[in-house]
Amino acid sequence: MQVRFYSVQPMEAPGKSKYKVLVVGGGAGGCATAAKFAEGSSGLGNDVAVVEPSDVHYYQPIWTLVGAGLKDFQSSGRPMGEVLPESCDWIKDKAVAFDPKNNCVELKSGAKVHYDYLVLALGLQLDYDKVKGLQEALEQDPSVCSNYHAQWVQKTSPALNNFKGGNAIFTFPATPIKCAGAPQKIMYLADEVFRKNKVRDSAQVIYNTALPVIFGVKKYADALHTVVADRGITVNYRQHLTAVDHTTKTATFAMLDEDNKPVEYKYDLLHVSPPMSAPDVLKTSGDLTNEAGFVDLNQGTLQHNKYENVFGLGDCTSTPNAKTAAAVAAQSNILYNNLNRHYSGKELSPEYDGYTSCPLITSSKTCILAEFDYQLQPLETFPWNQAKERRTSYWMKASVIPYLYWAKMLKGTWDGPGKLRKLLHFGMGK
């Protein structure tokens, strides 16, 4: 993507030795948090800094539609300097170590930056290398693709349109992942492409998921069971991709309920949702994280369980919600309020209930709009059954939500649909 002028000029070293609020990560959570503190009512300006090495900020939820050929890849990204708040400092560097006892972050350049408050928003790490042969297959086999990566998502639409029949396999790994609905969304869109190209009758569409269910919330799972049945899609549960051999076009899966017994499939198209994990820098951060390397937070307040001046949000944290941009939107305002409460000596409020949303695209015109909480109970915004495939839900996913993301959420002014939900339900419920 061609980078235009920067609204925020990157700096290779910290502009100051210490910041009131230091945000590590320039994804959805980092941008939204920085905007709230730098340009919101706090008005901290350049006493807020964001550590982020990337030049481009991607709106990754749209990559499902990019992979299906329904959106242009270029529309998914903007220069990092244009999405960060103008008044904050952008430290274009990578965090390599944390020292929360001394309120310090070490950067790859060797510089150290101190803080009064630290906000961790590092996202998830894509572990393509954890699947034997996958990297080589992505590089050399045009029929292997992945919507989770800026490079590999651009292979998906050509792979779908060049598919002539045989096994089209879609995978879900045995790890936490971004947007748990994404691995099957592209499958439904692929099914539509195959029908349009008149190759569906010679295709076997297969969904191999490491999960024991098609979706974690029963209401939406029941609806998805109808979708896969109506479209003749085979679902195999508790199967985790372990190896790909592109020379023989073979994918090997571990059968998780049978002592990881291997089972092989021949593929003619393979869409991989890779294993994911907490970023390596967090895995080596000692008591800043839990055993799996995720930032150890109170799930209601988003404050660290040991270090009172450390907060976090998004995919890198230990909160047991689904990892989506919708969750980040809801978390950003709660984090902002609670950090300000702590600064003012007030008691923190355990407001976050695990709200998240996963628009489950089922065709180029329809979508199931899943919304739920920590208990995997529906927490729907609209006063109708959102488990039903609807054109309006697709329109919201494809047009409304991207607008809210770029124009509102990254500016710190969109905190999710909580207030709208209350209004539409006449103040009743959550």
**Gyration radius of the chain's alpha carbons:** 22
195 burial (CB, 10 Å; 0-12 / 13-18 / 19+) is middle
**Cβ neighbours of residue 367 closer than 8 Å, sequence gap 6 or more:** 359, 360, 361, 389, 390, 393, 394, 396, 397
Q: Which string of DSSP letters, residue by residue, matches 201-258?
A: GGEEEEEEESSSSS-SSHHHHHHHHHHHHHHT-EEEESEEEEEEETTTTEEEEEETTT
Report angle CA 251, 225, 156 to the nearest 5 degrees.
40
> What is the rounded distance in angstroms from the CA atom of residue 105 to the CA atom of residue 430?
38
Q: Where are the alpha helices (DSSP H) in 257-364?
A: 280-283, 325-343
> What is the rounded distance in angstroms from the CA atom of residue 72 to the CA atom of residue 75?
6
**Token representation of residue 414:** 């969109």
**Token representation of residue 202:** 């010679």
For the chain, what's the residue count? 430
Does the CA dihedral 418-421-423-427 come out positive or negative?
Answer: negative
Residues paired with residue 161 on neighbouring β-strands, in sequence order: none
3-state SS of the chain: helix, strand, coil percent to 5? 35, 25, 40
Q: Which residues are catalytic?
A: 179, 358
> What is the rounded distance in angstroms from the CA atom of residue 252 to the CA atom of residue 264?
4
Torsion of CA 29, 219, 368, 57, to 10 degrees: 10
341 burial (CB, 10 Å; 0-12 / 13-18 / 19+) is middle
**Cβ neighbours of residue 215 closer than 8 Å, sequence gap 6 or more:** 180, 181, 221, 224, 360, 370
- The residue type found at 387 is A
First-residue to last-residue Cα distance in the chain: 41
